[in-house]
Amino acid sequence: MGSTDSKLNFRKAVIQLTTKTQPVEATDDAFWDQFWADTTTTVQDVFALVPAAEIRAVREESPSNLATLCYKAVEKLVQGAESGCPTEREKQVILNCTRILTRILPYIFEDQDWRGFFWSTVPGAGRAGTDELDDDDGARPLAESLLLAIADLLFCPDFTVHSHKRGPDSVENMQSIDSCEYIWEAGVGFAQSPPLNYIHDLNRTELLRLLLTCFSEAMYLPPSSDNSVLNPWVTFFCSTENRHALPLFTSLLNVVCAYDPVGYGIPYNHLLFSDYREQLVEQAVQILIVTLEHDGGVPHRPASPSSMEEQESTGPENLFVNYLSRIHREEDFDFVLKGLARLLTNPLTQTYLPNSTKKIQFHQELLVLFWKLCDFNKKFLFFVLKSSDVLDILVPILYYLNDARADQSRVGLMHIGVFILLLLSGERNFGVRLNKPYSIHVPMDIPVFTGTHADLLIVVFHKIITTGHQRLQPLFDCLLTIVVNVSPYLKSLSMVAANKLLHLLEAFSTSWFLFSAAQNHHLVFFLLEAFNNIIQYQFDGNCNLVYAIIRKRNVFHQLANLPSDPASIQKALQRKRKSPDVISRTSSQETVSMEGSHPAVPAEPGTLKTSLVAMP
């Protein structure tokens, strides 16, 4: 009954807010406390009991009341960050305010007239190190107060971290606390693993969800041609104003890389017990991606005379990028690489019992994080390339590329996966590692073959090119560039992979395809260069490729005798209109697909077929 009454009271408070036409004073604590002090609502309750239409109605009809609600909620978070939330009631107030702000902020961001609200100064909210007088120059914008309060609360003893206090009566001072001693998980820069506490994980997840909502303002802004304009929320949070930047970055990275969704390996344990750590890991990796996206620039804030004078040509240093670039210990690199490889490989794991192990769903975010790590920390990239674990990154990437090739909604995943492989292929060590025999069994709808990881790469690339949707055509250059980059180091291609390469050459060298676009001949150049590299540097072990080339010698003869007169070109283009498929999907020799695989449905331009592939 208590929970039902609490929801009813909260709903009554929302109705009162939407029906009041006169502004409610900020000093009317009896009214505002209805939203957080007297309720025990969950985040699902808040989203259900505060409809979007009512938020927009308050925004349009009673803007002062919505502004006061936001101000009072932020005020409660600031007070909780200062006091350390010593009582259970204060902790519940903090959670309620967090959920309300998470619900309301998107509707403030979507209205252009409201975007400057959080960056307006609030009287009495002084900056650190200044006298707390009613001085506008010393006032802190509401957004900054909110971000600093969230950062403080993420390291609040007995709320989001394990307390170090020695007695029940002692209280830790939030202002003097050293948050580096409260890092959430062992790993990079921190050796001690704190005891697991699912309540702390839930509270961290709520605060990170609010933080991600704050960062989402950029989603509601019109596209800008100025790439140097940055998100002011992210810029401030990653600046030196945030004294918790280092421990928070370390906590987020360690929580992600230390997570093991399988745990002790007990079958179906994920169906019996709730895994609160997974929610935290998903929020953590998204926060990392957003914060690492900004590297200097001009924060986009509503123009004001004082702010225009204070802005420099470049924004403040991004501490998250700085800390990431300074990781240098090999044990830290090994921890990060093994953690990412474990998570990326998780959905590929097969068991005798169907659906007996937990499958994560945030692999795309992990790929973006891996890209950021390689981009900002070249020492990490070199460590990856010299490590045999690089193949534990390659195989899941190829799996995701093959799985997403016919799904137009996952074209972003295709791009990030291909770009990572393109980056890795530029180094010799990657090409050498590809000669390791491929013996694991990953469920992919590709021909069964006996060979190396290089064969797997070529077979998957062939599948992407021949059965992917047309929006992937701009990636063909990148795919074949990867093949060219690794070709001098491929010691022995299987017959399956050799036939795939020759099939691509046969398709790309047809006259109508070469003449249909100005850049199509580049694809033939890449394939010929790959053949030349293999024959020149690895001739002895590649008898399969040489045999396939001899079998398809007519393709090379036709390419050498390619007509160039206008009449022949027009005739070839007319032939294209009669047979519009760029690459025949039946001429390539297909064999039995791998056990446990599910064929992807070919996608036509602009549509996605929902039916199964026709069976003979």
Per-residue pLDDT tens digits for 315-354:
578 999 999 999 999 999 999 999 999 999 988 875 444 5
Q: What is the 8-class DSSP label of residue 141?
A: E
Look at residues 211, 283, 229 and name the one whose alpha carbon lies nearest to residue 221: 229
Asked if 462 and 419 touch (Cβ cutoff 8 Å), the reply is no
One domain, residues 347 and 473: no
In a domain, 609, yes or no: no
Alpha helices in 110-261 (DSSP H): 142-153, 198-215, 232-237, 245-258
Name the token pair of 59: 């925004």
Can you tell me the mean pLDDT for 240-248? 94
One domain, residues 360 and 299: yes
One domain, residues 418 and 379: no
In a domain, 170, yes or no: no
Read off the pLDDT band of 569 (50, 70, 90). low
Asked if 184 and 251 touch (Cβ cutoff 8 Å), the reply is yes
Look at residues 355, 456, 451 and name the one whose alpha carbon lies nearest to residue 396: 456
Look at residues 328, 317, 342, 307 and name the one whose alpha carbon lies nearest to residue 381: 328
Name the token pair of 34: 């209805």
One domain, residues 200 and 317: yes
Weakest-pLDDT range from 194-198, 283-287, 429-433, 586-590: 586-590
State whether residue 422 is helix, strand or coil. Answer: helix
Name which residue leads in pLDDT, 43 or 377: 377
**Helix pair 363-376, 276-292: axis angle to 10 deg:** 40
In a domain, 232, yes or no: yes
Distance of alpha carbon 535 from alpha carbon 463, whole angstroms: 24
Question: CB atoms < 10 A from the CB of 516, how many?
Answer: 14
Name the token pair of 214: 């704050």
In a domain, 55, yes or no: yes
Residue 382's contacts (CB-CB under 8 Å, 6 or more residues apart) are 427
Can you tell me the mean pLDDT for 110-130? 70
Identity of the residue numbered 465: I
φ, ψ for residue 343, nearest 5 deg = -75, -40
Read off the pLDDT band of 579 (50, 70, 90). low
Alpha helices in 62-197 (DSSP H): 63-83, 88-109, 142-153
Distance of alpha carbon 613 from alpha carbon 608, whole angstroms: 12
One domain, residues 396 and 544: yes
- The owner of tokens 């580049």 is 522
One domain, residues 466 and 566: yes
Residue 204 pLDDT greater than 90, yes or no: yes
Name the token pair of 165: 């206090």
Distance of alpha carbon 74 from alpha carbon 492, whole angstroms: 64
One domain, residues 403 and 383: no
Distance of alpha carbon 589 from alpha carbon 365, whole angstroms: 35
Distance of alpha carbon 247 from alpha carbon 592, whole angstroms: 51
Read off the pLDDT band of 122 (50, 70, 90). low
* Boundary-marking domain end, from 387, 409, 425: 387
Composition of the chain by helix, strand, coil, percent to 5: 60, 5, 35
Residue 530 pLDDT greater than 60, yes or no: yes
Read off the pLDDT band of 32 (50, 70, 90). confident
One domain, residues 104 and 250: no
How many CA atoms does the CB half-sphere of 360 hold within 13 Å? 29
Do β-strands 139-141 and 121-126 pair in parallel, antiparallel, or remain unpaired?
antiparallel
Read off the pLDDT band of 2 (50, 70, 90). low
* Boundary-marking domain end, from 343, 366, 387: 387
In a domain, 607, yes or no: no
Can you tell me the mean pLDDT for 405-416? 90
Per-residue pLDDT tens digits for 462-492:
999 998 888 888 899 999 999 999 999 999 9
Residue 588 pLDDT greater than 60, yes or no: no
Per-residue pLDDT, 301? 54
Distance of alpha carbon 243 from alpha carbon 180, whole angstroms: 10
Identify the helix (H) or strand (E) that includes residue 511: helix 511-516
| Burial (CB count <10 Å: 0-12, 13-18, 19+), residue 612 | exposed
* Boundary-marking domain end, from 370, 387, 404: 387
Q: How many structural domains does the chain have? A: 3
Distance of alpha carbon 368 from alpha carbon 345, whole angstroms: 15
One domain, residues 122 and 203: no
In a domain, 194, yes or no: yes
One domain, residues 315 and 426: no
In a domain, 169, yes or no: no
Residue 370 pLDDT greater than 60, yes or no: yes
Q: What is the 8-class DSSP label of residue 489?
A: G
Range of the domain at 30: 1-145
One domain, residues 130 and 204: no
One domain, residues 363 and 218: yes
In a domain, 535, yes or no: yes
Mean pLDDT of the chain: 81
Read off the pLDDT band of 7 (50, 70, 90). confident
Kindly tell me the sign of the dihedral angle through the C-alpha atoms of 439, 441, 447, 448: positive
Per-residue pLDDT, 254? 96
Distance of alpha carbon 41 from alpha carbon 47, whole angstroms: 10
